[in-house]
């Protein structure tokens, strides 16, 4: 058995060791089997029965998935039932059987090919997604032509699923069975449906593994390291042992996390703090709450655009926002209006190539430039606000005039909704992100114009220190503890608090234990981060005394360099609260 290692993208953390289960695709026939005229009626009946069986299966799968893993994954089957009932699907197959005098298998394969070509020519991500759904339904009908063959249940025991790709319903059915140890796929990435599902079911997964289906054989042993994005085929004993112990450590860590998620968010001396989640997809809401989030502190709405190449309609926006608001209710949801430009290029918006995109037409600047698009988004957010837990967050504010301009648009949208008697919450809080140094410097003026502030430390550090946040050559200069950064953050937090306004930090600093201690020391009580880091920050902040942290952070402000600050905070924390920095490193 040959030993080898393949690197991919880790999309769901954790480690699994086990035997492989190779999931083969349904291969549609390429052979046209002819039948005689008097067999045609029987063949049409065979097809009808296959449709009927598929419908029944989809319906019971929907119920099963709803029970096992919740509504948010069961909706796929509604879409599949709609495809099955599509007016043209069954007739187009029947016509082929009748006109060409052939088996139903050939008719399905022809229809499959026709759809594949059609979707390919459209070249649209959104439709491509529909293509995989259509393919999924056609595969089921195809398999149901031979009813004795088992279609749905993967009765393999405790194995690692290896496949080229998983269709949405395959992912939901396979992963919910409870016997898949891990997933290793050639296709897919962190935002694919399978990845989200794997994360929410806590199944390690690696994707983007080139040719893995060709490199493995039935009976091979595999290690899937979802944290590091690696798959090891037929590992020697020493490597197995190494990963076994890594796996145990990770599982201990997860158990600790789970316990922590349920604990009260209070420091040792009883000061409450709030941990919220940054999300990019509606499907992440459930994970966020299971990690102990008390709201969605940042929904990066530009991801609605990143997942498709056409423009989303108001209804598309509305559906997504209301889904999140409903799932999070009664907790708050901060919907950030699109933050395009900079490192996030959205081809469907046709933004001209800029020499310096980080300083260009991005975020609120873009929204004020394409006002029709902005109004569509504002309308959709307001329509989704009827549960009264929605907040609007504006990215990259630089000056007061931008707020004034957007308020005019915002009021126009509200007036329009009122005139059409469309319900919305008239008091949706409006907040500004503090990411541009100029905005931080006038935080005392800005804060009077909004209901709350949220500090985006990722961009604030980039612009304050003039260090590209994604350029590895200058990453050594990207220092959250640079005294200038500490001063500016302290100023913004204290300014908002003086004004009695809510203040949150939603950049990566909130997710780092040491930085969280510093932020708490500045008086910050609201931290928003990637859901996976919520338990560890809760652990950190629960393990410290607010008073003590305030004291050490105040002392740290007299230090001259980031390194001195870091060493001082570590040293002082370890002396009094060593538990605060435990659980720090593992992902
Ligand atoms: C930030 O800049 O800190 C932030 C939260 O926004 P993003 O990372 O999406 O730019
Ligand atoms: Mg930002």
How far is the centre of ligand 2, averaged over its atoms, from the C-alpha of 307 (Å)?
19
Q: Give, using CA atoms, the residue closest to atom 1 of ligand 1.
A: 456
What are the backbone angles phi and psi of residue 278, rounded to the nearest 5°? -95, 125
Does residue 193 have an active-site annotation?
yes
∠487-504-525 over CA atoms, to 5°? 90
| CA dihedral of 233, 234, 237, 239, whole degrees rounded to 10 | -10
Q: Which residues surround ligand 2, an ion (CB under 5 A)?
A: 435, 456, 459
The atom of ligand 1 lying closest to the CA of 278 is 5
Task: Give the bridge partners for 184, in sequence order.
Answer: 162, 206
- How far is it, in rounded angstroms, from Cα 395 to Cα 384? 20
User: What's the CA-to-centroid distance between 374 and ligand 1, angstroms?
Assistant: 19
Instruction: Report the run of H or E that residue 562 belongs to, with start and end.
Output: helix 562-576
Q: How many CB atoms lie within 10 A of CB 369?
A: 12
Counting other chains too, the contacts that 235-244 makes at CB distance below 8 Å and 24 or more residues apart are: 235/3, 235/17, 236/3, 240/17, 243/15, 243/17, 244/17
Question: Which H helix or E strand runs over 303?
Answer: helix 303-306
Distance 208 CA to ligand 2 centre (A): 27
Per-residue buried b or exposed e for 211-230, using 16+ beta carbons within 10 Å of the residue's own CB: ebbeebeeebbbbbbbbebb
Rounded to the nearest whole angstrom, what is the distance from the C-alpha of residue 520 to the centroid of ligand 2?
21
CB 363 within 8 A of CB 340: yes
Ligand 2 centroid distance, CA of 365 (Å):
13
Cis peptide preceding 330, ω within 30 of 0: yes
Q: Which residues pair with 161 in a beta bridge?
A: 21, 183
| Residue 151 confidence (pLDDT) | 45
Residue 428 alpha carbon to ligand 1 centre in Å: 22
Residue of 112, 193, 317, 577 marked catalytic: 193
Atom 6 in ligand 1: which residue has the minimum CA distance?
A: 456
Closest residue by Cα to atom 9, ligand 1, is: 300
Which of 491, 487, 510 shows the shortest CA–CA distance to 499? Answer: 491
Cα gap 310→301, rounded to integer Å:
15
Expressed in angstroms and rounded, the spacing between residue 87 Cα and the centre of ligand 1 is: 45
Best of 346, 456, 457, 527 to mutate for ligand 1, by most ligand atoms within 8 A of CB?
A: 456
Closest C-alpha among 333, 337, 335, 392 to residue 365: 337
Give 448 Cα–ligand 1 centroid separation in angstroms.
23
> At 581, is the secondary structure helix, strand, or coil?
helix
Give the 3-state secondary structure of 109-177: HHHHHHHHHHHHHHCCHHHHHHHHHHHHHHHHHHHHCCCCCCCCCCCCCCEEEEECCCCHHHHHHHHHC
Q: Which ligand is nearest to the CA of 506?
A: 1
> For ligand 1, which residues put their CB under 6 angstroms from it?
298, 300, 339, 435, 456-459, 506-507
Q: Is 156 a catalytic residue?
A: no
Residue stretches of the chain with pLDDT short of 70: 69-72, 122-130, 147-156, 168, 191, 306-309, 343, 345, 583-587
Atom of ligand 1 nearest to the CA of 395: 6
pLDDT value of position 587: 45
Q: What's the CA-to-centroid distance between 574 and ligand 2, angstroms?
A: 32
* Structure-block tokens of residue 573: 């924390």
Best of 281, 300, 366 for a ligand 1 pocket test (most atoms within 8 Å of beta carbon): 300
User: Residue of the nearest CA to atom 4 in ligand 1?
Assistant: 456
pLDDT at 111: 93
Pocket test of ligand 1: the residue of 339, 340, 364, 505 to mutate, having most ligand atoms within 8 Å of its CB, is 339
Indicate which residue of 102, 317, 506, 577 is catalytic: 506
**Nearest CA to 377 among 413, 347, 342?**
413
Return the SS3 of 249: helix
The two tokens of residue 454 are 């949220």
Q: What beta strand segments (E) does 204-351 contain? A: 205-207, 221-225, 230-233, 274-279, 296-300, 333-336
State the pLDDT at residue 469: 84
pLDDT at residue 129 in the model = 57
Whose alpha carbon is nearest atom 3 of ligand 1? 456
Do the beta carbons of residue 443 and residue 434 sit within 8 Å?
yes
Q: At what angle do helices 193-201 and 168-176 cross, to 10 degrees?
A: 20
**Of residues 111, 4, 1, 131, the one with CA closest to residue 47:** 111
pLDDT digit string, tens, across residues 386-433: 999 999 999 999 999 999 999 999 999 999 999 999 999 999 999 999
Q: How much is the pLDDT for 130?
A: 65
pLDDT at 148: 61
If you take atom 8 of ligand 1, which residue's CA is the nearest one? 458
Residue whose CB lies within 8 A of the most ligand 1 atoms, among 297, 470, 507, 527, for a mutation test:
507
Q: Which ligand is nearest to the CA of 508?
A: 1
Nearest ligand to the CA of 344 is 1
Ligand 1 atom nearest to 508, measured from its CA: 3
Return the residue matching tokens 């967050």: 393
Locate the ligand 1 atom nearest the alpha carbon of residue 459 and give its number: 2
């Amino acid at each position: 058995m040959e030993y080898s290692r393949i690197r991919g993208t880790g999309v769901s953390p954790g480690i699994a060791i086990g035997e492989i289960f190779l999931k083969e695709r349904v291969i549609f026939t390429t052979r046209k089997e002819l039948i005689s005229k008097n067999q045609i009626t029987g063949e049409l009946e065979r097809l009808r029965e296959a449709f009927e069986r598929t419908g029944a299966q989809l319906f019971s799968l929907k119920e099963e998935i709803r029970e096992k893993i919740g509504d948010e994954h069961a909706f796929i089957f509604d879409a599949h039932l709609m495809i099955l009932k599509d007016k043209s699907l069954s007739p187009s197959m029947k016509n082929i059987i009748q006109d060409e005098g052939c088996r139903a298998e050939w008719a399905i394969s022809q229809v499959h090919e026709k759809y594949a070509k059609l979707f390919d020519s459209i070249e649209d991500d959104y439709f491509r997604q529909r293509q995989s759904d259509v393919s999924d339904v056609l595969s089921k009908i195809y398999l149901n032509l031979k009813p004795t063959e088992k279609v749905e249940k993967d009765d393999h025991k405790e194995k690692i699923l290896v496949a080229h790709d998983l269709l949405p319903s395959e992912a939901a059915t396979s992963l919910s069975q409870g016997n898949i140890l891990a997933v290793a796929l050639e296709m897919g990435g962190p935002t694919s449906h399978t990845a989200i599902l794997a994360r929410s079911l806590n199944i390690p997964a690696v994707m983007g593994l080139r040719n893995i289906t060709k490199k493995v054989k039935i009976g091979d042993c595999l290690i899937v390291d979802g944290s590091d994005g690696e798959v090891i085929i037929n590992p020697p004993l020493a490597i197995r042992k190494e990963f076994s112990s890594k796996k145990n450590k990770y599982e201990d860590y997860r158990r600790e996390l789970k316990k922590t998620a349920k604990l009260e968010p209070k420091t040792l001396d009883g000061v409450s703090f709030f941990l919220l989640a940054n999300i990019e997809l509606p499907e992440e809401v459930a994970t966020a709450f299971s990690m102990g989030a008390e709201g969605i502190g940042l929904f990066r709405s530009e991801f609605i655009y990143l997942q498709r190449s056409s423009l989303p309609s108001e209804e598309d926006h509305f559906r997504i926002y209301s889904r999140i608001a409903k799932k999070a209710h009664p907790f708050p949801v901060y919907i950030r209006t699109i933050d395009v430009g900079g490192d996030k290029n959205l081809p469907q918006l046709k933004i001209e190539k800029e020499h310096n995109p980080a300083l260009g037409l991005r975020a609120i600047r873009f929204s004020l430039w394409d006002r029709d698009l902005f109004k569509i988004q504002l309308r959709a957010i307001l329509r989704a606000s009827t549960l009264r837990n929605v907040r609007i967050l504006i990215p990259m504010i630089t000056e007061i005039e931008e707020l004034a301009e957007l308020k005019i648009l915002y009021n126009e949208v509200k007036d329009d909704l009122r005139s059409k008697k469309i319900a919305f919450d008239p008091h949706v809080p409006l907040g500004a992100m503090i990411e541009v140094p100029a905005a931080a410097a006038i935080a005392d003026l800005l804060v009077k114009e909004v209901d709350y502030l949220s500090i985006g430390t990722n961009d604030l550090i980039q612009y304050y220190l003039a260090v590209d946040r994604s350029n590895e050559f200058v990453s050594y200069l990207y220092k959250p503890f640079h005294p200038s950064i500490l001063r500016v953050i302290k100023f913004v937090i204290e300014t908002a608090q003086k004004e009695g306004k809510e203040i949150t930090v939603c950049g990566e600093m909130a997710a780092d234990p040491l930085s969280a201690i510093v932020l708490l020391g500045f008086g910050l009580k609201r931290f928003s981060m990637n859901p996976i880091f919520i338990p560890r920050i809760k652990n950190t902040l629960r393990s410290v005394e607010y008073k003590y942290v305030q004291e050490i952070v105040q002392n740290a402000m007299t230090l001259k360099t980031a390194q001195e600050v870091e060493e001082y905070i570590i040293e002082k924390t370890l002396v009094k609260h060593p538990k605060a920095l435990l659980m720090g490193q593992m992902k």
